[in-house]
Each structure stands twice: as C-alpha cells, then as structure tokens.
Amino acid sequence: MTTTTSNPDGDPVTTPETLPLPLSGTSLAGSTQATPPRRPQRWILSPLHLEEAAALARDAQLPPLIAELLVARGIRTPADADAFLHPRIDHLLDPFSMMGMSRAVERIQQAVAAGEPILIYGDYDVDGTTATVLLKTAIERLGGQVRFHIPHRLREGYGMQREILETAAREGVRLVISVDTGIRAFAAADAAAELGLDLIVTDHHLPETELGVPRALAVLNPNQHGCSYACPHLCGAGVAFKLAQALLEAWDRDRARTKILPSFLKMLAIATIADAVPLCGENRVFVALGLAELRRPVGLGLRALMKEAQIDTARRPLTPIDVAFRLAPRINAAGRMDIAAEVIELFTTRDQNRASDLAAKLERLNQERRAAETAMLAAIATRLQEPCFQEARCIVMDGDNWHRGVIGILASRIVDQTGKPAVVVTREDGEAYGSGRSIAGFHLLEAIESCHELFTRFGGHAHAVGFSLPSDRIDDLRTRLCAYAAARLRPEDLGVSLECHAELPLDQINPQLYSWLRRLEPYGMGNEEPVFISRNVRVLAPPFFMKEKHVRLRVTQGTSSASPRDGAEIKPPANAGAASTAFSAVGWNLADRVRALQLGPDSVIHLAWRLRDNDHPEFGGLELEIAGFEIA
C-alpha cells in the first residue's frame, strides 16, 4: 500500500507506506539503559515493481524476489543485471571521459620526463590519505619524483595553505596535485599561480555554486559543471584513482589492467566504504573487486593493520562492515588524534618492524579516540533531552574544547539517535570549529551556504560538512540553521527510520535465498542490505540474554498470517528441500527492550530482519538478525 502526498510544487507524488514503531537500541552514550526517543521509529516499506520485476526475472532468468530487489536499484535489463551481479575489471570507466583528464595526464607526464619534483597535497582522513598513497605509488611507478603533504588537523586545519605552497616552490616544486581537497581553494589556487606553480585539483566535494572552480591547470571533479562522467559519486580516492588509471594505462594498458590496478583497488575499496559514497555504478566495481583483493593482502602495513584489527581473511571473507568499523576507524585515528602523515608511511614502508610499530600506534590512537568520544557522548546524551533540542528540526550542539578529531563522529551519533540533521561545534580560544551530518532529503551544504557570511571557511556535500567561524557567531548559526530546517523539513521527515524492502514469510527462507542475497553484495550506501518484514511471528521459548545487552529469540510463523500486502507475492528462489519454519533471531543491544515488553513464549510480534548464516559449530545455520520489532 502507498500513500499520496504533494511535492513542493504541488504535484502529487507517491511515497512508501510508513509504519510507526517504538525505537530500539541503546542510549547515545553506549549505556545498556535505553533512552526514550522523542519520536518513534518508522518502518518504510518500499513500493513494489511487479511488472518490471517479472520481465527482468523472465529475461535474465532470475528469482522474482532478486529481480524485484534489482529493479528497486534501477536495474532493468539483463545486461545491467549481469554487470551488477558480476563486477569485472573491464567495467572500469574510461578515465579520459572525466573533464580535465587529458590535460592533467599530459602535465604529469611532462614532469616525470623532466625529473621535476611533484607535490601531492592530501587530507587527513581515510579518503585523503589513501588517495595520496594511490597517486604517489602510480607516479613513482612511472619514474616520477613525488613528495607529499598531509595537513595536521589541529595546527593547519582542512585545505591547502599558502605557507606550504611557498615552501614547495622554494624547494623546486613546479607541479602540485591536490587530492580529496581543493575544489573551493580559490585563495590557494591564486597563491599557486603567483608562485609559478602549476596546480591540478582532484576532488569530489561539491564546487562553489556561484564562483565555480578555482583557477588551475586542470580540475578533476565529476561534480563540476560540464563534466559528463558516468559515475559522479566517487570519493576523493576514487578521483585520484582515475588519474592513476589514466597515467598507468597510457604507459602500459595491459600491465595496468592485469597487475597494477587490481592491487590499487584494495586501498580504494577502503576509502570508498569509509567515505560512505553510494555503492553503485563504478563504486560497486571498486569495492567488490577491492574486497576480493583484500583477502590476499601483500603490503606490510596493510597486513600489520589487519592484524591489529583482528581481521583474519583466511577464516572468512572481508566485508564492508569490517572495513567501516575495524579498518577505517584505525586509519582515521591518526588524523583525528595525531599525525595523519604516518598513514602514508604505514602503507608504503618495506620495513616489517616499522609497519608493526605504526599499526600498533594507530591502535593506541583509536583507543584514545574512543575514550574521548565516550566522554563527550555522555554529556551530549543528557543535553539532547532539553526542550530546545527536542523541538528543533536541526540540532546545533556546541561545547568548550571538545576534541576536533571526533566532532564529526558525535554529529553522526546524534543523527542516529534523533533522526535529525546535526552540527557539533567546539570552541577554542575565540574560534569555533564544526562538523555536521545530515538525513535523507536535507542538503546540509546548501543549508550552510544559506548563511555563508558567518564562516571563516566551509565545505562538504549533501550529507556532511565541515567549517570554522568566530565563536561569537555560534548563536547566529543555530538560529539560521534551525530556521532553514524548519522551513524545509516536515515532522514526518524526522525520526529514526528503517527502510524495509519486502514482506517475506519465514517459511520462504532457504539456503538458495541466502546464496542469491550474497550475490547482491557488497552492501552499503546506495545498495543497502535488504530488510524483510514478517508479521505475526510467535516467540517459541524464553529469550536467551547474552552479555546482558543482546538477546536471542526462537521464533516461528504460521503461513496463513503472513500474506504480503495487497495480495502481491514475490517468490524467493526455489528450495531443493523443505524450509525451516523456526529460526533463531538475534537482537544486538535489544535485551532491555525485550525485558521491558516482557517477551516470552507465545508472544506475537511483527519482525523486521536481515538474513545471516551463523558458522558457529554448535548452533550454526541460517538465522535472523533483528532490525526492529513491535508487538502484534
């Protein structure tokens, strides 16, 4: 069932059915004591595409459920389905279709031939450091002389600085290449020109609306006006990789395709996942092939880091979750807490002892980051209960001397908890530094641009921004952003939501379904893992609690209680054997809610779930991971 509403122009549009549900999970501070949410969680059930899915299932010989999930991702032809399900190296797009690529390649080739030193100007996060590693490695492979600069987050802040460019010019550098930065660096670009430096900007952040792009020899950014590159949602490392691809393929296409580029995809997969860009189009190729390469890590630094993160690819394949929650935070910890330049050394060193030492240091820094984050989250969780934050449609939270390295994480936590766009600002000696994260449908960079005169500097994209401003302007910022959000966000746009992809009775779960769902991986932004709804599910036994925070339920369902909405049926893959009608369902951080609702034998619930395969020798097999539940 769908509902009809109107867009801002008054035209009727179709929106998915929404189901109000209680919020599940732990408090913002990570306590096992649940914090009551201001708004209920909503389940958003995606509309079906029955005719298109039936046609794709027939033409591509796919199970109807898989065809439905593909059509929902914009895939409507057998050729597109094959490309999605079987990513290959030859699916990489032509790098020269990106505006500015030919000129950038020509200038770098000239510098390599002449023995000119080249400066790569990077950034301090995962995206910026891996981009630096990729491009540095590629140019050195061609025989180029490369040096790099990664700014210190606290001492220099984000973006290119004139002082660094002046030093480079004095040392004989004549070509500077920015990675994951530079698209709004107008002053730095002008300084480069004054110093006689050729500048190549590679970036993925959105350009300035009115001023366009900086004055540079070449600008590589698929989001710039006039660029028709087929995958505009690259991360910064993705843009740097396309430049590396163009250089290497111009040098030796066969060798690049068969040996060098596949090895580069390891770093690129980490950056693409960490930067949360949509995992569709070319990004899907990057991550799918990169994860496969990560199963066979060769570099000393990468192997040492994976050891610190307790990742054993011999035991099971690496997943985007492993990258996002185990590898990326350790890489990011360098830039958040100390010197990000050491990440470059980690991934390029050929000394085993040095690699181990650097990886161990990243582990220590990540522990420090977590400790700082936990302390600040506890304070923020209390303040979120204040009426001003309960009523606001955009959260602007500020504090004294909060660590700049973790304010972006804090903003993400607030968004997760409240379902509202959030900006976290720290005050330091009269200056303020902020980081923001957003929700679907609210373009945070445009919100920041609406009060651009308040800032010393700012940048970002629809979902994340960073900025600095005098601390006495924070109240003005809060007033302006809250008014901007109030004019554009409806109450129904707010709150924690869960996108559900189809209704599926439990007796239709089988190993073939799990196998087909694995073919849709890697999951992530833009290719979310399917969440299914099963209604009127009965609890068979008393809940089993794990570590006081987690819970395991044994559930079953009668087929008569589980008919899909509107009578529409999406059949899963055929099962060679009988399907089980009883499953184990695991709920992470749901123990308190299960206790509060007194779930027990014969309790009946509506269940939202993801399908898992537990490899435990005693209670392994297919099981459900609970995404949400309500009392039926």
When pLDDT is averaged across residues 227-231 and rounded to a whole number, the result is 96
Strands 2-6 and 457-460, how do they pair? unpaired
- Does residue 514 form part of some domain? yes
Residue 624: closest CA among 528, 517, 523, 527: 517
Is the separation of the CB atoms in 53 and 63 below 8 Å? no
Same-domain status, 447 and 585: no
Measure the N-to-C terminal CA separation of the chain; round to a whole number of Å: 19
Same-domain status, 574 and 549: yes
- Does residue 215 form part of some domain? yes
Q: What is the pLDDT of residues 580-631, one digit of tens each?
A: 589 999 999 999 999 999 999 999 999 999 999 987 777 778 999 999 999 9
Same-domain status, 333 and 389: no
- Does residue 86 form part of some domain? no
Helices 236-255, 282-294: axis angle to 10 degrees equals 70
Window from 121-135, 451-465, 597-611 with minimum mean pLDDT: 451-465
Residue 405 pLDDT class (50, 70, 90 cuts): confident
Q: How confident is the model at residue 549, as a pLDDT? A: 92
CA distances from 179 to 219, 411, 613 (A): 11, 25, 40
DSSP letters spanning 363-402: HHHHHHHHHHHHHHHHHHHHHTTSHHHHH-SSEEEEEES-
Q: How confident is the model at residue 627, as a pLDDT? A: 95
Count of other CB atoms within 10 angstroms of residue 551: 22
Q: What is the pLDDT of residues 322-335, one digit of tens each?
A: 999 899 999 999 98
Residue 585: closest CA among 527, 536, 529, 628: 628
Residue 9 pLDDT class (50, 70, 90 cuts): very low
**Residue 322 φ then ψ, to 5°:** -60, -45
- Domain CATH for 399: 3.10.310.30
Q: What is the pLDDT of residues 242-294, one digit of tens each?
A: 999 999 999 999 999 999 999 999 999 999 999 989 999 999 999 999 999 99
Q: Is 627 exposed, middle or buried (0-12, 13-18, 19+ CB in 10 A)?
A: buried
Residue 40 pLDDT class (50, 70, 90 cuts): low
Before 522, cis peptide (omega within 30)?
Answer: yes
Q: How confident is the model at residue 115, as a pLDDT? A: 97
Residue 575 pLDDT class (50, 70, 90 cuts): low
Same-domain status, 404 and 507: no
Same-domain status, 256 and 115: yes
Q: How is residue 576 written in tokens?
A: 């060679």
Residue 36 pLDDT class (50, 70, 90 cuts): very low
Non-local CB neighbours of 77 within 8 Å, separated by 6+ positions: 56, 59, 60
Q: How confident is the model at residue 89, as a pLDDT? A: 96
d(CA 573, CA 579): 12
SS3 121: strand
d(CA 211, CA 184): 9
Q: How is residue 392 written in tokens?
A: 């606001």
- Domain CATH for 63: 2.40.50.460
- Does residue 175 form part of some domain? yes
- Does residue 104 form part of some domain? yes
Is the separation of the CB atoms in 625 and 498 below 8 Å? no
d(CA 158, CA 161): 9
Range of the domain at 161: 92-269
pTM: 0.83
Non-local CB neighbours of 278 within 8 Å, separated by 6+ positions: 233, 524, 525, 526, 527
Window from 142-151, 242-251, 404-413, 554-563 with minimum mean pLDDT: 554-563
Map tokens 């490899």 to a residue.
Answer: 615
SS3 583: strand
Q: Is 50 exposed, middle or buried (0-12, 13-18, 19+ CB in 10 A)?
A: middle
Q: How is residue 362 written in tokens?
A: 């990243």
- Domain CATH for 146: 3.90.1640.30
Specify the amino acid at residue 438. S
Task: Provide the percentage of residues in the chain whose pLDDT is more than 70.
Answer: 90
Count of other CB atoms within 10 angstroms of residue 457: 15
Q: Which of these three, 493, 520, 544, is where a domain ends? A: 493
d(CA 152, CA 158): 8
Same-domain status, 448 and 532: no
d(CA 96, CA 137): 20
- Does residue 287 form part of some domain? no
Same-domain status, 526 and 617: yes
- How many domains, in total, are found in the chain? 4
Q: How confident is the model at residue 196, as a pLDDT? A: 97
Residue 572 pLDDT class (50, 70, 90 cuts): low
Q: What is the pLDDT of residues 356-398, one digit of tens each?
A: 999 999 999 999 988 888 888 888 988 998 999 999 999 999 9
Helices (H), 509-599: 511-519, 591-596
Helices (H), 256-340: 261-274, 282-294, 300-308, 320-322, 328-337
Same-domain status, 164 and 40: no
Q: Which of these three, 493, 518, 537, is where a domain ends? A: 493
pLDDT above 60: residue 17: no
DSSP letters spanning 75-103: --SHHHHHHHHS--GGGS--GGGSTTHHH
Beta bridge partners of 622: 613
SS3 362: helix
Map tokens 């030796």 to a residue.
Answer: 252
d(CA 121, CA 146): 11
Is the separation of the CB atoms in 83 and 589 below 8 Å? no
- Does residue 171 form part of some domain? yes
Mean pLDDT of the chain: 88
Q: What is the pLDDT of residues 522-568, one digit of tens each?
A: 998 889 999 999 999 999 999 999 999 999 999 999 743 444 444 34
Count of other CB atoms within 10 angstroms of residue 548: 9
pLDDT above 50: residue 11: no
SS3 125: coil
- Does residue 29 form part of some domain? yes
Beta strands in 110-165 (DSSP E): 117-121, 145-149
Residues recorded for the chain: 632
Q: What is the pLDDT of residues 433-457, one digit of tens each?
A: 999 999 988 999 999 999 999 999 8
Same-domain status, 37 and 125: no
Specify the amino acid at residue 73. R
Residue 136: closest CA among 202, 76, 195: 202
Map tokens 């181990």 to a residue.
Answer: 356
Non-local CB neighbours of 548 within 8 Å, separated by 6+ positions: 32, 591
Residue 30 pLDDT class (50, 70, 90 cuts): very low
pLDDT above 80: residue 187: yes
When pLDDT is averaged across residues 143-153 and rounded to a whole number, the result is 93
Using alpha carbons only, what angle is made at residue 620 by residues 615 and 625, rounded to the nearest 5 degrees?
Answer: 90
d(CA 49, CA 53): 6
pLDDT above 50: residue 56: yes
Q: How confident is the model at residue 16, as a pLDDT? A: 29
CA distances from 8 to 4, 82, 149, 420 (A): 13, 38, 46, 20
d(CA 21, CA 588): 17
Same-domain status, 252 and 122: yes
Same-domain status, 487 and 371: no
DSSP letters spanning 30-41: --SSPPPPSS-E
Residue 412: closest CA among 433, 441, 436: 436
Q: Which of these three, 354, 375, 396, is where a domain ends? A: 375
Same-domain status, 152 and 214: yes
Beta bridge partners of 12: 6
pLDDT above 60: residue 492: yes
Helices 328-337, 261-274: axis angle to 10 degrees equals 70
